[in-house]
């Protein structure tokens, strides 16, 4: 997917990019590739692959959550890595107020440089573990309209990272490659325990490559119990509802 194809494919979803936004994506790509030479940000460096599998893929939540396009929503991106999906979403929808957390300072440093280079506003960057950022003493607990995560962990673990950050009435949006149904089945107990409820699981394919994708949206229907999230590392080792809990 070259840049022009990227623009035309988004137009099919009623997302029209300006020349300025196209330049921001070009600058994003250049900084990503140059930084990746000395900081491990991504294994995908081919331009057309980046535009498809990072940029386009990151914008797909707006195909299923229309209010991302127009509302001044607060969005927390958990484990954003090189900024996916939140930075592409922010470029396209500047109305969003984005908070990014990542456990590696090298990635946060890259994102800080990126945000400055692209001239983005209303973006906060935090070097933190999700378990601490959404902990019972954190000012950020249950404060966001939306929490997103892309390729971070399986659903039972992801729910414990994200749902404590979402306010009641807000949503968690998980971008999944495949196996979402199995993960949702395994994660049902965790989702319910943490105050979530599944409202949609949409399957679709990326253009050009036809790679399968799942967009899972959970609604926060009640407060997360105070004992969650558990201390750093525990959700991965002992997911809620698993036999080794």
- Give pLDDT, residue 79: 87
> Mean per-residue pLDDT for 35-47?
93
pTM metric for this prediction = 0.94
Of 93, 94, 160, nearest in space to 132 by CA: 160
Domain of residue 30, residue span:
3-222
Is 130 annotated in a binding site? The answer is yes
- Residue 235, in any domain of the structure: no
- Residue 242, in any domain of the structure: no
Of 41, 55, 47, nearest in space to 7 by CA: 55
- Residue 238, in any domain of the structure: no
- Residue 176, in any domain of the structure: yes
- Give pLDDT, residue 179: 66
- Residue 241, in any domain of the structure: no
Number of domains in the chain: 1
Torsion angle of the four alpha carbons 223, 149, 97, 166, in this order, in degrees rounded to the nearest 10: 0
pLDDT at 1 over 60: yes
CATH number at residue 74: 3.40.50.150
Is 150 annotated in a binding site? The answer is yes
- Residue 77, in any domain of the structure: yes
Is 84 annotated in a binding site? The answer is yes
Is 124 annotated in a binding site? The answer is no
Is 11 annotated in a binding site? The answer is no
User: How far apart are alpha carbons 33 and 37 in whole angstroms?
Assistant: 7
pLDDT, one tens digit per residue, over 114-137 is 999 999 999 999 999 999 999 989
- Residue 230, in any domain of the structure: no
């Amino acid at each position: 997917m070259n840049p022009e194809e990227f623009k035309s494919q988004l137009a099919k979803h009623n997302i029209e990019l300006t020349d300025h936004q196209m330049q921001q994506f070009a600058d994003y790509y250049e900084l990503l590739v140059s930084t990746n030479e000395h900081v491990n940000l991504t294994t995908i460096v081919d331009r057309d692959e980046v535009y498809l599998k990072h940029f386009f893929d990151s914008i797909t939540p707006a195909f299923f959550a229309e209010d991302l396009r127009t509302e001044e929503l607060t969005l927390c991106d958990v484990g954003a890595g090189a900024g996916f999906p939140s930075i592409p979403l922010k470029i396209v929808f500047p109305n969003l107020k984005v908070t990014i957390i990542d456990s590696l300072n090298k990635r946060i440093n890259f994102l800080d440089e990126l945000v400055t280079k692209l001239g983005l506003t209303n973006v906060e960057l935090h070097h933190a573990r999700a378990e601490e950022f959404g902990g019972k003493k954190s000012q950020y607990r249950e404060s966001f309209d939306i929490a997103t995560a892309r390729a971070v962990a399986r659903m039972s673990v992801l729910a414990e990272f994200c749902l404590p950050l979402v306010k009641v009435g807000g949503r968690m949006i998980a971008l999944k490659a495949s196996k979402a149904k199995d993960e949702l089945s395994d994660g049902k107990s965790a989702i319910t325990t943490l105050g979530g409820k599944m409202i949609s699981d949409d399957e679709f394919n990326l253009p050009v490559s036809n790679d399968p994708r799942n967009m899972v949206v959970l609604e926060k229907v009640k407060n997360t119990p105070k004992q969650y999230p558990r201390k750093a590392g525990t959700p991965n080792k002992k997911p809620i509802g698993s036999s080794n809990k």
